[in-house]
Amino acid sequence: MTQRLVVTGASGYIGARLVELAQARGCDVLRLPWRLGEVPPEALLTGATAVIHLGHSWASDAEAGTGPGNINLQGAVDLAGAADRADVARFVFASTTSARAEALNAYGRIKYAIEDRLRALQTSTMRVLCARIALVYGGPEQSLFGLLSRVTALTPVLPMIGLNRELQPIHLDEVCEGLLRLALDPPATGDTFVLGSPYTVTFGEWLRILRRARTGRRLLLVPIPMQAALWACDATQILPFGPTVSRERVLGLAGAAPMDSAADLAALGIVARDPEQALSSTPAARQRLVAEATAMLCYVAGRRVDTPDAIERLVQAIADDPASRRALPALTLRWPALLRFIEPVRPSMRHGLSRRLHLAAMVAESLPGSSQTPRPSVVAVAMQVVLEALALPFRLMFSRFTA
**Statement: residue 81 has pLDDT above 60:** yes
Q: Contact 356/323 with Cβ under 8 angstroms?
A: yes
CA 258, CA 164: separation in Å to the nearest integer?
Answer: 12
pLDDT of residue 378: 66
First to last CA, the chain: 57
Looking at the structure, do residues 239 and 292 belong to the same domain, yes or no? no
Say how many domains are in the chain.
2
**Phi and psi at residue 227, to the nearest 5°:** -65, -40
Looking at the structure, do residues 229 and 325 belong to the same domain, yes or no? no
Q: Which of 279, 304, 334 is the last residue in one of the domains? A: 279
Q: What would you report as the CA-atom Rg of the chain, rounded to the nearest whole angstrom?
A: 26
* 91 or 403, which is more confident: 91
Looking at the structure, do residues 271 and 369 belong to the same domain, yes or no? no
Q: Which of 223, 257, 279 is the last residue in one of the domains? A: 279
pLDDT of residue 372: 54
Looking at the structure, do residues 326 and 226 belong to the same domain, yes or no? no
| Chain centroid to CA 372 | 46
Region 373-379: mean pLDDT is 63
Looking at the structure, do residues 243 and 146 belong to the same domain, yes or no? yes
Lowest mean pLDDT among 4-13, 180-189, 387-396: 387-396
Q: Which of 230, 253, 279 is the last residue in one of the domains? A: 279
C-alpha dist (Å) from residue 340 to 237, 288, 290, 384: 46, 20, 20, 11
For residue 13, name the pLDDT band (cuts at 50, 70, 90). Answer: very high
Which structural domain, as residue segments, surrounds residue 140? 4-279
> Which neighbouring-strand residues pair with 195?
133
* 265 or 121, which is more confident: 265
**Phi and psi at residue 246, to the nearest 5°:** -90, 155
Percent share of the chain, pLDDT over 70? 88
For residue 25, name the pLDDT band (cuts at 50, 70, 90). Answer: very high
For residue 157, name the pLDDT band (cuts at 50, 70, 90). Answer: very high
Going by C-alpha positions, the residue among 376, 214, 219 that lies closest to residue 281 is 214
SS (H, E, C) the chain: CCCEEEEECCCCHHHHHHHHHHHHCCCEEEECCCCCCCCCCHHHHCCCCEEEECCCCHHHHHHHCCCCCCHHHHHHHHHHHHHHHCCCCEEEEEEECCCCCCCCCHHHHHHHHHHHHHHHHCCCCCEEEEEEECCEECCCCCHHHHHHHHHHHHCCEEEECCCCCEECCEEHHHHHHHHHHHHHCCCCCCCEEEECCCCCEEHHHHHHHHHHHHHCCCCEEEECCHHHHHHHHHHHHHCCCCCCCCHHHHHHHHCCCCCCCHHHHHHHCCCCCCHHHHHCCCHHHHHHHHHHHHHHHHHHHCCCCCCHHHHHHHHHHHHCCHHHHCCCCHHHHHCHHHHHHCCCCCCCCCCHHHHHHHHHHHHHCCCCCHHHCCCCCHHHHHHHHHHHHHHHHHHHHHHHHHC
Region 109-113: mean pLDDT is 95
pLDDT of residue 28: 96
Looking at residue 42, which CATH number applies to its domain? Answer: 3.40.50.720
CA 79, CA 53: separation in Å to the nearest integer?
Answer: 9
**Statement: residue 387 has pLDDT above 90:** no
Apex 315 CA angle, 311 and 316, nearest 5: 120
pLDDT of residue 269: 96
Looking at the structure, do residues 257 and 383 belong to the same domain, yes or no? no
Tell me the HSE value of 234 on the side-chain side, using a 13 A CA sphere.
Answer: 6
* 345 or 302, which is more confident: 302
For residue 261, name the pLDDT band (cuts at 50, 70, 90). Answer: very high
**Statement: residue 225 has pLDDT above 90:** no
Across all residues in the chain, what is the average pLDDT?
Answer: 87
pTM above 0.85, yes or no: no
Looking at the structure, do residues 139 and 251 belong to the same domain, yes or no? yes
**Statement: residue 349 has pLDDT above 80:** no
Looking at the structure, do residues 267 and 222 belong to the same domain, yes or no? yes
For residue 161, name the pLDDT band (cuts at 50, 70, 90). Answer: confident
Looking at the structure, do residues 37 and 105 belong to the same domain, yes or no? yes
Looking at the structure, do residues 291 and 146 belong to the same domain, yes or no? no
CA 126, CA 89: separation in Å to the nearest integer?
Answer: 5
**Statement: residue 217 has pLDDT above 80:** yes
Looking at the structure, do residues 190 and 293 belong to the same domain, yes or no? no
Count of residues making up the chain = 403
> Which neighbouring-strand residues pair with 136?
170
**Statement: residue 108 has pLDDT above 70:** yes
**Statement: residue 162 has pLDDT above 80:** yes
Question: Highest mean pLDDT range out of 100-114, 226-240, 371-385?
Answer: 100-114
pLDDT of residue 393: 74
pLDDT of residue 398: 64
CA 279, CA 360: separation in Å to the nearest integer?
Answer: 23
> Which neighbouring-strand residues pair with 171?
137
Looking at the structure, do residues 205 and 351 belong to the same domain, yes or no? no
Going by C-alpha positions, the residue among 320, 289, 322, 129 that lies closest to residue 214 is 289
Lowest mean pLDDT among 157-166, 326-335, 386-395: 386-395
